[in-house]
A and B are shown apart, each in its own frame.
Chain A
Amino acid sequence: MRKKNKKSKQIKLFFLFGSILTFILILIASTVGRQELNGPQRLALDLIGKGQYVITRLTTGVANVWGDYIALLYVRDDNKRLQQELDKFKETNIKYREAVATNVRLSKLLQIKDSLPPPTLTAQIVGRDPSLWFRTIIIDRGSSEGVEKGMPVVTVEGVVGQILDTSPNYSKVLLANDPNSAIDVLLQKNRVQGILKGNGSNGFNLQYVLKNADVEKGDAIVTSGLGDIFPKGLPVGKVSEVTKSKRGMFQQIEVEPAVDFSQLEYLIIIMHENSLADQDFGKQHH
Chain B
Amino acid sequence: MPVISFFFLGVFLLILQTSLLAILPGWVGRPDAFFVLIVFVATRLKFVHGALLLLVLGLIMDIFSRIFLGVYPITYLLLFFLLHGISRRLAIHEPVHRIPMAIASYLFVNSLLYSFASYLAPENELIWNWKDILMQILLLAIITLPLFTFFEAFDEILTPKKAAQLFLRPKNKNTFRD
Q: Do A and B belong to a common assembly?
A: yes
A200 with B66: CB separation less than 8 A: no
Interface string of A214-237 (1 = CB under 8 A from B): 000000000000000000000000
Looking at the complex, which one of B23, B25, B129 makes contact with A200 (CB distance below 8 Å)?
Answer: B129
Q: Is A174 an interface residue (CB 8 A)?
A: yes
CA A133 – CA B66 in complex, angstroms? Answer: 9
Looking at the complex, which one of A126, A197, A201 makes contact with B129 (CB distance below 8 Å)?
Answer: A201
- Please judge, given known A-B contacts A133-B113, A201-B129, whether A128 and B136 are in contact too, CB under 8 Å: no
A132 with B136: CB separation less than 8 A: yes
- Please judge, given known A-B contacts A179-B126, A180-B121, whether A134 and B66 are in contact too, CB under 8 Å: yes
Q: Is B98 an interface residue (CB 8 A)?
A: no
Chain A, interface size category, equals 20 to 34
Mark the stretch among B11-19, B88-96, B157-165 that contacts chain A: B11-19
B25 CB to closest chain A CB (Å) equals 8
Q: Is A262 an interface residue (CB 8 A)?
A: yes
B102 CB to closest chain A CB (Å) equals 16
Looking at the complex, which one of B14, B21, B30, B126 makes contact with A133 (CB distance below 8 Å)?
Answer: B126
Q: How many residues of B contact A (CB 8 A)?
A: 31
A130 with B136: CB separation less than 8 A: no
A130 with B65: CB separation less than 8 A: yes
CA A201 – CA B114 in complex, angstroms? Answer: 14
Looking at the complex, which one of A127, A130, A136, A201 makes contact with B67 (CB distance below 8 Å)?
Answer: A136
- Please judge, given known A-B contacts A130-B65, A132-B110, A133-B113, whether A200 and B22 are in contact too, CB under 8 Å: no
Known: A179-B126, A201-B127. 8 other contacts (CB 8 A): A127-B22, A128-B23, A130-B34, A130-B64, A164-B67, A172-B63, A178-B67, A262-B26
Name 25 A/B residue pairs within 8 A (Cβ), A-sorted: A127-B18, A128-B18, A128-B22, A130-B34, A130-B64, A131-B113, A132-B113, A132-B129, A132-B136, A134-B66, A134-B67, A134-B117, A136-B66, A136-B67, A164-B67, A172-B63, A174-B67, A179-B117, A179-B121, A179-B125, A179-B127, A180-B67, A180-B124, A199-B127, A201-B129
| Residues of chain B at the chain A interface (Cβ within 8 Å) | 14-15, 17-19, 21-23, 25-26, 30, 32, 34, 63-67, 110, 113-114, 117, 121, 124-127, 129, 132-133, 136
| Residues of chain A at the chain B interface (Cβ within 8 Å) | 126-134, 136, 138, 164, 172, 174, 178-180, 197, 199-201, 262
